[in-house]
Amino acid sequence: MAGKKFLNNCQVQKISGKKTLLRVLRKKDLGKSLIWLKDPSVNMFLSHSFDDYTEEQEIKWFEFVQNSNNDVVFAIEDINTNLYIGNCALHKIDWENKNCEMGIVIGEKDYWNHGYGSDTVRSIINFALFDLNLKSIKLEVYRYNRRAINVYKKYGFKLIKIEKKSHFYNGKYWDTYIMELKKNIS
């Protein structure tokens, strides 16, 4: 399968943005990543709670991703300092229908609101649409994550579905927005 071969080549792939460098996630990154997953102020934006997540589960997930034909996870580094600040990923890559799901987390809170997430989103979109030649990218984001919603809209994601009150956080049920970016094919 072309996808498996391409993803195996991603082992050395690096993607440069203006502020960020994306590189394939390494096993040595997992300790820091696990700290972010368990941080309530970071976790509130993630797809599910990682409160009880263990190092063993993180290693098992990492090994799954390493052997997957349909997932690629990048570490996000500050391009100037090489500090590891977060992760972004393309999941459930459907090579036949040319689509995937995207996720991103900036775990280092000092890097919030400084354009690192936006730069990462631009880089991963370009990688998915042009290097992988995918036609669409979907993502899920909670209604209260206005910062991320604004970034996604900036790069062309459209709201395609609202899952009403599907996410419980901070004593309240919140809507989950399903957004999609389609490659402009003329």
Task: Give the residue-averaged pLDDT of 93-117.
Answer: 94
Quick check: 76 pLDDT over 70?
yes
Q: What is the pLDDT of residue 182?
A: 96
The pLDDT value recorded for residue 125 is 96
**The pLDDT value given to residue 12:** 44
Higher pLDDT, 103 or 184: 103
Strand partners for 141: 177
Confidence of residue 47 (pLDDT cuts 50, 70, 90): low
- SS3 labels along 18-54: CCEEEEECCHHHHHHHHHHHHCHHHHCCCCCCCCCCC
Q: Taking residues 23-27, what's their average pLDDT? A: 91
Let me know if 179 is exposed, middle or buried by CB neighbors in 10 A (0-12, 13-18, 19+): buried
What lies within 8 Å, CB to CB, of 147 at 6+ separation is 112, 113, 117
Quick check: 141 pLDDT over 70? yes
How would you label 79-94 residue by residue, b for 16+ Cβ within 10 Å and e otherwise?
beeeebbbbbbbbebe
Phi/psi region, residue 22 (left: phi>0; alpha: psi -120 to 50; beta: rest), is: beta
Which of 144, 139, 140 is CA-nearest to residue 169?
144
What burial class does residue 48 get, using C-beta atoms within 10 Å of its C-beta: 0-12 exposed, 13-18 middle, 19+ buried? Answer: exposed
Q: What is the pLDDT of residues 117-140, one digit of tens each?
A: 999 999 999 999 999 999 999 999
Question: Domain limits of the chain?
Answer: 2-135
pLDDT, tens digit, 9 for 90 and up, residues 160-179: 999 998 877 778 888 889 99
**144, pLDDT greater than 80:** yes
Query: What pLDDT was estimated at residue 73?
Result: 92
Of residues 98 and 14, the one with the higher pLDDT is 98
Class of domain 2-135: alpha beta
Whether 3 has a pLDDT exceeding 50, the answer reads: no
**pLDDT at residue 186 is higher than 90:** no
Residue 116 makes CB contacts below 8 A (sequence gap 6+) with 19, 20, 76, 78, 85, 86, 106
- pLDDT at 49 > cutoff 70: no
Distance CA 61, CA 49 (A): 15
Residue 14 pLDDT greater than 80, yes or no: yes
Mean pLDDT across the stretch 137-147? 92
Residue 89 neighbours by CB under 8 Å, 6+ apart: 65, 71, 72, 73, 74, 102, 103, 104
Helix (H, G, I), strand (E, B) or coil at 105: strand
Please give the pLDDT value at position 7.
52
What tokens were used for 24? 């394939």
